[in-house]
Amino acid sequence: MSVKETPLARVKRLHGSKEKLVDAVVDLLAKESSDESPGELKVRLMAVSNKKLLRLHDSLVEIKDKYGSKEELVRALSEAQGKARDADYVNKLQTQSIYRLLDLMKATSSPRQTPS
């Protein structure tokens, strides 16, 4: 019987400590968010749960690897949906969370199932 790994154990295995995970997330978010300084962001993220930090890190890495930035993800999503020329729609996508954008992209790019 296998035991599911706890978020704390996963943080320690992958990053060594919560502080190193927060530093990695801050580095990934620093380019995207100009609203607050990296120091303020780090203080705020230290209060976030390990599970949420791991999810945030995984999502940011996926965006960076596949699209380069949130803006590129929005561009790819609007093109995939055929709405790249709709400025209002693109602006609305820019306000969405990265989780919502990734979910929309996965839903848009996955083949649709036809009922049998």
- pLDDT tens digits along 19-67: 999 999 999 887 666 677 888 889 999 999 999 999 999 999 999 999 9
Range of the domain at 89: 69-107
Q: How far apart are CA 95 and CA 70, in angstroms?
A: 10
Distance set, CA 57 to CA 29, 48, 83, 103, 111 (Å): 9, 12, 29, 16, 27
Same domain, 36 and 93: no
Same domain, 40 and 81: no
Residue 112 lies in a domain: no
- pLDDT tens digits along 72-86: 999 999 999 999 899
Long-range contacts of 92-100 (CB under 8 A, 24+ apart): 94/70, 98/59, 98/60, 98/63, 98/70, 98/73, 99/55, 99/59
Residue 115 lies in a domain: no
Number of domains the chain is built from: 2
Same domain, 46 and 31: yes
Residue 116 lies in a domain: no
Q: Whole-model pTM above 0.95?
A: no
Same domain, 25 and 4: yes
